[in-house]
A and B are shown apart, each in its own frame.
Chain A
Amino acid sequence: MDYSIPTINLSVIGPEIIILLTAVSVLIIGLFPNYRRWSISIVFIGIIFAFYDIYYLWNLNQVGFDGMVLADNFALLFDIIFLIGTLLTLLLSGNFINQYIRGTGEYLSLILFATLGMMLMASTNDLIVIFLGLETLSISLYILAAFRRSREDSLEAGLKYFLLGAFTTGFLLYGIALIYGSTGTTNIYSILNFLKDGSVEIGILFYIGMILIIVGFGFKAAFVPFHMWVPDVYEGSATPVTAFMSAGVKAASFAVFLRLFITGFSPIISQITGILAVLAILTMTVGNVIAIVQTNIKRMLAYSSIAHAGYILVALTALSRNIESEFSAASIMYYILVYTFMNIGAFGVVIYMEKSEEEVLKISDYAGLGFKKPFAAICMTLFMFSLAGIPPTAGFMGKLYIFSSAVESELYGLAVIGVLNAVIAVYYYLRVVIFMYMKEAVLDFSYLSARPVMALSLSISVGGIIYLGIFPQSLINLLTNIL
């Protein structure tokens, strides 16, 4: 047995290195009070460089570290989604930074570390690296959830997330260990070869391992019945953090699901279609039904994010039934991108509305917003329409693609249940809109001042959902060819 040092091709992990360097330099700059105000600019420059590097790597399909790291278009696309989410979140967190952090770099660098974890998860070909990426992501998020240490609800959010997260990490690790035990490898392509080869019987161990991995990531992506932590954590965390984790973690988990389903587990994935379908139905229904009775907008958005995980899961089920279907995979990626825009956008309006001391978080507080602050109200309306799936927003096209991929895989029942759920969801999304335009204002909105940076973030999100809603075809074509 001889071991040689693998070919170290650093350009494969170029975007990751850029983000890492940015995060570390922000940490170091935090040590010098005179220069702290530069840290946010450094972050944006770093993100722009990362985007440029992704553009450079596009279509090159580089592989590094003995096939452990990939920079294929799939990974790069997810990198783009994560970076968009990070960018939008950072644009929204100006107020939070001024209020709680006063310029030290930890918040910014933790957000960047979390992004780095997501990027590692999407761009690797090895279960160990996926696990390490997930840990980087999760640890950053545990801290971010508990960031407002003086507040009890924030600490509770952090602790809850940490305890349950650590518990499910155990499931995930156990799953990886079982798969390693039965295939002798953690490399996803080698697992695929093992399954295709067929000379060794695929044992029950492998199936248990696969299910445990799905459970582990199902927790992170908030599938029912692993969703218990979502409302409390989303409510207790600072709203920018909530926006970040609702979009980012889901995207990263589904990136791993796609990578595993399309390559590693593809020969046998059709055997668990039933399980996935049950999960999808549960996730959609529970999320939507409980969201109806919520009065707190953050909790409502938390349950709605569970429901959206359910919609994506419908497409994942369709994919598992018909693994060759590029359309299903494309619809998942399309939906994740759209979801990033509309969910961070919706949370953006919530951040805009928040007061520092007593937070304005009840849905009834939004009454009359449409007349006092028309721009915020229009943005919120569009986000709600998009989340509900009303044309011409991108949310509509996303749901359309997802349900048609279910139909394409002959999962008619699932498609019908999905559509019914979408109808239920319209109720509670439109309620916000009705409050904004058809009720008298109960609050004096004079404390709201114009915030150009936040407006920029909201405009990007609105632009994203409108553009993707009206011209989805070019993106869908791109996504279909990506795999």
Chain B
Amino acid sequence: MEFILFYIFGFIAVVSALLIILQKNPIYSAVFLILTLFSVAILFLLLNAQFVAAVQVLVYAGAIMTLFLFAIMLLNIKYEEKAFSKLANLKITGIFVTFVLFIEFMYMIFLRKGLGIAGNISPEKVAEVGNVELIGKILFTKYLFPFEVASLVLLVAMVGVIVLAKKKF
């Protein structure tokens, strides 16, 4: 059952990720990005990571992408500018790099080499302790310092936005 779901939503995620970059119309790209994020959230669910899944939908698919759409609609970019045709070389480089990356991952997956060490938090463990509790505990103990620093990053971003957007100095 889980495998079937994994394949279905993995497939949707990959196909819609491809469609993001193949679409000419940025609105459709954004819609497919929402779909990708949503399917990835479901993959998280299959790993018993309900909290991450919900936050993924809430923050990325729900809030950030709404702002994306907002920006696209305000700028009224109906179709991509022709500018991209100048970047044909870049396209070839991009395809090449992606291909190399793809080969590397295939190598890794099929030869099972260099997968690194398994973590000590398995989906079963998560199910046992509870996803929200586990994340909360780790965030406020082991990663307390980065957590606090993250608030600093947000403060800086907020100051920056106000500097750039306020009416006069």
A and B touch in the complex (CB under 8 A): yes
Chain A: residues with CB nearer than 8 A to chain B? 1, 3-6, 8, 20, 27, 65-66, 68-69, 100-102, 104, 106, 109-110, 113, 116-117, 120, 126, 128-129, 132-133, 135-136, 139-140, 142-143, 146-147, 149, 158, 181-184, 194, 200-206, 208
Contacts of A8 in B (CB 8 A): 144
Contacts of A203 in B (CB 8 A): 108, 113-116
Contacts of B104 in A (CB 8 A): 204, 208
A6 near B144: Cβ-Cβ < 8 Å: yes
B44: min CB distance to chain A, Å? 15
Using A106-B163, A143-B164, A205-B108 as known contacts, say yes or no to A136 and B113 having CB atoms under 8 A apart: no
- In the complex formed, the residue of B with least CB distance to A103 is B169
The answer, among B129, B141, B143, B160, for a CB contact under 8 Å with A143, is B160
Chain B: residues with CB nearer than 8 A to chain A? 101, 104, 107-108, 113-121, 125, 129, 137-138, 140-146, 149-150, 152-153, 155-157, 159-160, 162-164, 169
Docked CA distance A20–B159 (Å)? 14
Contacts of A146 in B (CB 8 A): 164
- In the complex formed, the residue of B with least CB distance to A178 is B116
A-B contact pairs, 18 of them (CB 8 A): A6-B144, A65-B145, A110-B163, A128-B143, A135-B153, A136-B153, A136-B156, A140-B156, A140-B160, A149-B164, A182-B114, A184-B119, A201-B114, A203-B113, A203-B115, A204-B107, A204-B113, A208-B101
B157 near A139: Cβ-Cβ < 8 Å: yes
B36: min CB distance to chain A, Å? 16
- In the complex formed, the residue of B with least CB distance to A148 is B169
Using A66-B142, A132-B149 as known contacts, say yes or no to A184 and B159 having CB atoms under 8 A apart: no
B117 near A200: Cβ-Cβ < 8 Å: yes
B140 near A132: Cβ-Cβ < 8 Å: no
Contacts of B145 in A (CB 8 A): 6, 65, 68-69, 126, 129
Docked CA distance A205–B107 (Å)? 11
A184 near B116: Cβ-Cβ < 8 Å: yes
Contacts of A20 in B (CB 8 A): 152
A132 near B159: Cβ-Cβ < 8 Å: no
Contacts of A181 in B (CB 8 A): 116
- In the complex formed, the residue of B with least CB distance to A101 is B169
Docked CA distance A126–B144 (Å)? 12
The answer, among B108, B114, B152, B169, for a CB contact under 8 Å with A104, is B169
B117 near A6: Cβ-Cβ < 8 Å: no
